[in-house]
Amino acid sequence: MEFKKVSPVIFDECVKVIRNSFITVANHFNLTKENAPTNPAFIEIDALNKMYEKNIDMFIVLENDVYIGFVAIEKANNEIYYMEKLAILPEYRHKGYGKKVMDFVVNYVKCKDGKKISIGTINENDILKKWYLSYGFIETETKVFKHLPFTVCFMEKKI
């Protein structure tokens, strides 16, 4: 398994991985481009360009030279880093890749002297929430946003 820092040259491949990874969740929760336009299942290259311009570190995950996942890590401040768009293609799930990506993010944040990793996820996605809890995240807040058809669960993990 390999992590490669993303550059604009492969944004089109990253978009495919992110969309194909998140569409299963979007379908499960009846999310559409109309009712949840910011959901990663509907991401466009423009969104990655904006992240790149904000100096958000993005990594593509490879297994045997095949793109199988993606993760973005944004420095919020000297202590907190946001983990965004952790994606593993459906055919690679439940094989330990998600944990390896989380291990990579934790080590990356440690190397930057970060103290916490913060995430937001769909509160109603019990399976994913339990997975993050089992990795040591704690729920810090849930919030309803008028423009979203689900509740957002904010979680964090101390490093």
Per-residue pLDDT averaged across 74-85, rounded?
97
Arithmetic mean of pLDDT over the chain = 96
CA 116/CA 157 separation, integer angstroms:
5
What pLDDT is stored for residue 16 in this prediction?
Answer: 98
Q: What is the pLDDT of residues 56-70, one digit of tens each?
A: 999 999 999 999 999
What pLDDT is stored for residue 48 in this prediction?
Answer: 97
Domain of 84 in residue numbering reads as 2-117
Burial class from Cβ neighbours inside 10 Å (0-12, 13-18, 19+) for residue 69 reads: buried
Instruction: State the total domains in the chain.
Output: 1
Residue 58 maps to a domain: yes
CA 20/CA 2 separation, integer angstroms:
20
Number of helical (H) and strand (E) elements in the chain, helices listed first: 4, 7
- DSSP E strand stretches across the chain: 2-5, 57-63, 66-75, 80-88, 116-122, 138-144, 151-158
Residue 157 maps to a domain: no
Q: What is the pLDDT of residues 28-41, one digit of tens each?
A: 999 999 999 999 99
Residue 131 maps to a domain: no
Residue 135 maps to a domain: no
What pLDDT is stored for residue 135 in this prediction?
Answer: 96
Q: How confident is the model at residue 94 (pLDDT cuts 50, 70, 90)?
A: very high
Nearest residue to 132 via CA among 144, 141, 120: 120
Residue 153 maps to a domain: no
As a dihedral over the C-alpha atoms of residue 10, residue 5, residue 104, residue 98, rounded to 10 degrees, the angle is 0
What pLDDT is stored for residue 81 in this prediction?
Answer: 98
Residue 52 maps to a domain: yes
Per-residue pLDDT averaged across 116-125, rounded?
97
As a dihedral over the C-alpha atoms of residue 33, residue 122, residue 132, residue 50, rounded to 10 degrees, the angle is 40
What pLDDT is stored for residue 36 in this prediction?
Answer: 93
Q: What is the CATH number of the domain that holds 48?
A: 3.40.630.30
Per-residue pLDDT averaged across 119-132, rounded?
95
3-state secondary structure at position 140: strand
Q: How confident is the model at residue 137 (pLDDT cuts 50, 70, 90)?
A: very high
Q: How confident is the model at residue 9 (pLDDT cuts 50, 70, 90)?
A: very high
For residues 14 and 60, the answer to whether their CB atoms sit within 8 Å is yes
CA atoms 33, 36, 38, 39: torsion sign: negative
Beta-carbon-side half-sphere exposure of residue 64 (alpha carbons within 13 Å): 1
How much of the chain exceeds pLDDT 90, in percent? 98
Residue 94 maps to a domain: yes
What pLDDT is stored for residue 126 in this prediction?
Answer: 94
